[in-house]
Structure 1
Amino acid sequence: MTGSDLSNIEVAAIALIRERRVLMVTARGRDVIFMPGGKVDAGETLVQAAARESREEVGLELDATQLTQLFTVLTQAHGEPEGRMVNMVIFAADTSAEPVASAEVSELHWATTADLFRCPPAGAEVVKRLNALGLID
């Protein structure tokens, strides 16, 4: 299989920011921290996927009015063959509700650039961009 045969993984994720930190999660059995989010299902818009994933992973009931598209990250997909890219669209989440770890998530983390070493490539890029925008430390 050549690199051109590897389709991008389309992902929608939320950036919930509080006190200059962004919410990230640890999936069960994994040591890296991820943005709450996941793959876009067939027939689903990016914003719908972000809302569904936030509910499934961190128990937040969000709708499109509470999500604002921030930016897109295109980078090597973590744990995938070289050349398989993840196209991750990040939405800022606007809610005062408290996130909770779900069945898919073992732990919540409030991350800053000090946590970059724990992030896969896409998550690290998101953290760097949020920092560059002055939103997190």
Structure 2
Amino acid sequence: MKIIDKLAWLEIKDNRILVARSKGKEAFYIPGGKRETNETDAQALIREIDEELSVKLKENTLAYYGTFSAQAHGHKEGITVQMTCYTGQYEGELKSAAEIEEMAWLKYEEMDRTSHVDKIIFKDLRSKNLL
């Protein structure tokens, strides 16, 4: 079984979560990405969010939220994505950059617009009255 190891940033406002959609893709994803060689979770997440959404996460505010796994969206059966999620404050103005075509703030009821692992995260956030 192959595992795709990813990091994600959970940004929630007014019971909605920030998601992004890459160019040419249908599904929205909770923003984040993969580590580069020798990067810590914080370094990778800060870099990815800066590249995708043009804001700087404040490293000293990053807090581990949880790790979730599911079938990788758009991959053949048996390929799993493992998403390690963090919350944290940012500075700057959110705007799409790099491969990101669109950002959105989704309600719990809109989770069908996201990937498999994101649906699990949406349900967990809902169970804690965050969405």
SS of residue in 2 equivalent to 1:25: strand
* 1:7 has 2:6 as partner: no
- Describe the superposition over 1:9-28 as per-residue Cα deviations: whole angstroms up to 9, x where unpaired: 11001011111111000110
User: Which has the higher mean CA deviation after the structures are superposed, 91-100 or 51-60?
Assistant: 91-100
Question: What is the CA distance between 1:100 and its match in structure 2?
Answer: 0.8
Q: Percent identical across equivalent pairs?
A: 29
* Cross-structure match for 1:40: 35
* Cross-structure match for 2:54: 59
Question: What is the CA distance between 1:64 and its match in structure 2?
Answer: 2.2
Question: What is the CA distance between 1:63 and its match in structure 2?
Answer: 3.5
SS of residue in 1 equivalent to 2:82: strand
User: Which has the higher mean CA deviation after the structures are superposed, 125-134 or 95-104?
Assistant: 95-104
* Cross-structure match for 1:88: 83
* 1:26 has 2:21 as partner: yes
Question: What is the CA distance between 1:96 and its match in structure 2?
Answer: 5.8
* Cross-structure match for 1:111: 106
Letter of the 2:62 counterpart: L
TM-score normalised by L of structure 2: 0.92
Question: What is the CA distance between 1:68 and its match in structure 2?
Answer: 0.8
Query: For structure 2, which runs of at least 5 residues remain unmatched after alignment?
Result: none
SS of residue in 2 equivalent to 1:23: strand
TM-score normalised by L of structure 1: 0.89
In structure 2, the CA distance between the partners of 1:42 and 1:96, relative to structure 1 (3 Å rule), is closer
Query: For structure 1, which runs of at least 5 residues remain unmatched after alignment?
Result: 1-5
SS of residue in 1 equivalent to 2:84: strand
SS of residue in 2 equivalent to 1:30: coil
